[in-house]
């Protein structure tokens, strides 16, 4: 079975200064409403990102997840991702252990280094330590997950000497996935540690990630981890509507605006319609269309990558309205999931 879910960055609505705080409050309420509907519709997982930018409201994602936990029953609640490089692993564990208690055992984490860098100056960190921070903090987080009493020392955090970490979660071991982009060393690290892998593919052709995923699986097996432990998840930009053309038309404007703005920061050219059409084609990374085409593409991507265990849609980037996303969630539950797993 492929788990199907939603990842959200809690996009802030476009509004003027006078209305922003009220509109942001409404946006959070609507996000929790979508999480509640996803649970009712039978989706398997809902994830929240972590950003420190004006256009997103997810800088304290565990709080939103906890609010949703009180209004849902079955859906797994996860980060997507927790920017571990900029966080204290003790607090990260405590937040998600508490979420696990509130949700009665439905908490998960996807941890990563993040694709934006605003958290580094915000928390007084050096960008040159980008990977070293993550590697050290991941080591500590994994030790805390397995041990109630910790003795540990590193470069970036005060040492711990026989310190007890509370609360402990309801689950024996909270699932921790490693979120990756396209860096080979990150895939190898996930395999070496035996952690499930969440691959963010937001552009290009998804099948091109197969050699990296093969590296992950090979590293896992070489380090003694059972194949069933080496799960692969796929996070992609996507949207579902009743009509294929309608879905693409609805998504394009917001997608083009968002990625053209990001492109200005990173030296990319503006998004064009031809680029978008290529990305929504057979091999492109965007999973947009009617339920039948979306399900077909998820299965095609799974086959190309040697099998995936989870697929999550990122719909926020397309400027889709709350009403449209609610309908998309219903379609995913009613049609996409049965088509993928039928």
Assign residue 241 the CATH number of its domain: 3.20.20.30
Residue 120 and residue 335: Cα distance in Å, rounded?
A: 42
Distance CA 288, CA 279 (A): 9
Confidence band for 56, pLDDT divided at 50, 70 and 90: very high
Q: Number of C-alpha atoms within 13 angstroms, CB side, residue 264? A: 5
Q: Domain limits at 109? A: 3-341
Spatial distance between the Cα atoms of 22 and 18, rounded to a whole number of angstroms: 9
The pLDDT of residue 16 is 59
* Predicted TM-score of the model (pTM): 0.95
> What average pLDDT does this structure show over 98-113?
97
The pLDDT of residue 19 is 72
Q: Residue 17 — pLDDT band, cuts 50, 70, 90? A: low
Query: What is the enclosing helix (H) or strand (E) of 214?
Result: helix 210-222
Q: Whole-angstrom Cα distance, residue 155 to residue 335?
A: 50
Work out how many domains the chain is built from and give that number: 1
pLDDT, mean over the chain: 95
Taking 3-state DSSP, the helix, strand and coil percentages for the chain, each rounded to the nearest 5, stand at 50, 20, 35
* Positive or negative torsion for Cα 16, 27, 87, 230: negative
Rounded mean pLDDT, 28-42: 98
Give the sign of the dihedral formed by CA 46, CA 50, CA 52, CA 58: positive
pLDDT of residue 69: 98
CA 222 vs. chain centroid, Å, equals 27
């Amino acid at each position: 079975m492929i788990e199907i879910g939603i990842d959200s960055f809690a996009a802030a609505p476009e509004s003027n200064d006078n209305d922003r705080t009220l509109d942001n409050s409404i946006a959070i309420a609507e996000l929790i409403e979508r999480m509640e509907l996803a649970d009712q519709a039978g989706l398997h997982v809902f994830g929240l990102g972590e950003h420190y930018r004006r256009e997103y409201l997810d800088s304290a994602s565990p709080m939103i997840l906890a609010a949703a936990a009180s209004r849902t029953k079955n859906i797994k609640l996860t980060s997507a991702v927790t920017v571990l490089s900029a966080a204290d692993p003790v607090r990260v564990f405590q937040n998600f252990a508490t979420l696990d208690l509130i949700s009665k055992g439905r908490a998960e984490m996807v941890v990563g280094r993040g694709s934006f860098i605003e958290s580094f100056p915000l928390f007084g960190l050096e960008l040159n330590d980008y990977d070293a921070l993550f590697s050290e903090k991941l080591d500590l987080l994994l030790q805390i997950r397995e041990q109630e009493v910790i003795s540990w020392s590193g470069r970036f955090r005060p040492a711990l000497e026989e310190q007890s970490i509370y609360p402990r979660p309801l689950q024996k071991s909270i699932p921790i996935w490693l979120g990756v982009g396209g860096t080979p060393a990150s895939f190898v690290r996930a395999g070496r540690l035996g952690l499930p892998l969440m691959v963010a593919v937001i552009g290009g052709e998804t099948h091109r990630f197969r050699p990296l995923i093969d590296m992950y699986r090979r590293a896992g097996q070489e380090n003694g981890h059972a194949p069933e432990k080496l799960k692969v998840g796929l996070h992609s930009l996507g949207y579902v509507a009743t009509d294929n053309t309608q879905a693409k038309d609805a998504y394009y404007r917001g997608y083009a605006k968002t990625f053209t703005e990001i492109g200005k920061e990173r030296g990319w050219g503006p998004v064009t319609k031809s680029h978008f059409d290529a990305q929504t084609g057979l091999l492109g990374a965007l999973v947009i269309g009617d339920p039948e085409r979306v399900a077909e593409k998820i299965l095609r991507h799974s086959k190309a990558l040697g099998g995936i265990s989870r697929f999550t849609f990122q719909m926020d980037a397309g400027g889709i309205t709350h009403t449209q996303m609610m309908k998309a969630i219903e379609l995913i539950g009613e049609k996409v999931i049965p088509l993928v797993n039928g």
